[in-house]
Amino acid sequence: MLKNSRRLSLLKLNKLYSLSQLTKIVHESKKRGQRVVLTNGCFDLIHAGHIRYLKESKRKGDILVVALNSDSSIRKLKGKGRPILNQKERVEILSSFYFVDYITFFKEKNVEKVLLSLKPDIHAKGSDYTKETVPEKETVKAYGGKIAITGGPKIRSTSQLIKKIVLGIKK
């Protein structure tokens, strides 16, 4: 009994869907009048800034979709040695948050393909952006969506945390 119960709880935590599966889910949710928010990022080494960003993004709507950079995408963006946690581990962590409803991967440098497939009501970005500097702003504007900047002031980044860990180890 415990094995089945444990397996069931693990299944409930898996919120990962392909983009085509998620497109159908989001379409049905919007037909029911639910407001869909999409956010994206690497989410490598989760820290308090990530939590604030995700929680505030969820408060902007009914459903929060996280588009997660694939491992290959992160390597292109961040360079050698990244990601610290592989995509399977990052999905497991993000799936455990009650405020995250769905997760999908993207391998491109930006999230435009996901935005054009899902057409979320709101595209939420972290406070390291302004509404004017969001790379996908024209895409969101073209389909009638809105941009939201969430998470409060930028207090740290994963790259800064990695440097701090490395310097601490070298001392």
Spatial neighbors of 55 by CB under 8 A, at least 6 apart, are 99
In a domain? residue 147: yes
Domain of residue 150 covers 15-170
Question: Into how many domains does the chain fold?
Answer: 1
Whole-angstrom Cα distance, residue 46 to residue 147?
A: 23
| Domain at 117, CATH number | 3.40.50.620
What per-residue confidence (pLDDT) applies to 7?
47
- pLDDT tens readout for residues 85-122: 999 999 999 999 999 999 999 999 899 999 999 999 99
Res. 123 pLDDT band, cuts 50 70 90: very high
What per-residue confidence (pLDDT) applies to 22?
97
Rg from Cα positions in the chain: 17
**Is the bond preceding residue 153 a cis peptide, omega within 30 degrees?**
no
Q: Which residue reads 């997760």 in tokens?
A: 103
Res. 128 pLDDT band, cuts 50 70 90: confident
Res. 5 pLDDT band, cuts 50 70 90: very low
Q: Which residues of 147-160 are buried (b: 16+ CB within 10 A; e: fewer)?
A: bbbbbeeeeeebee
In a domain? residue 102: yes
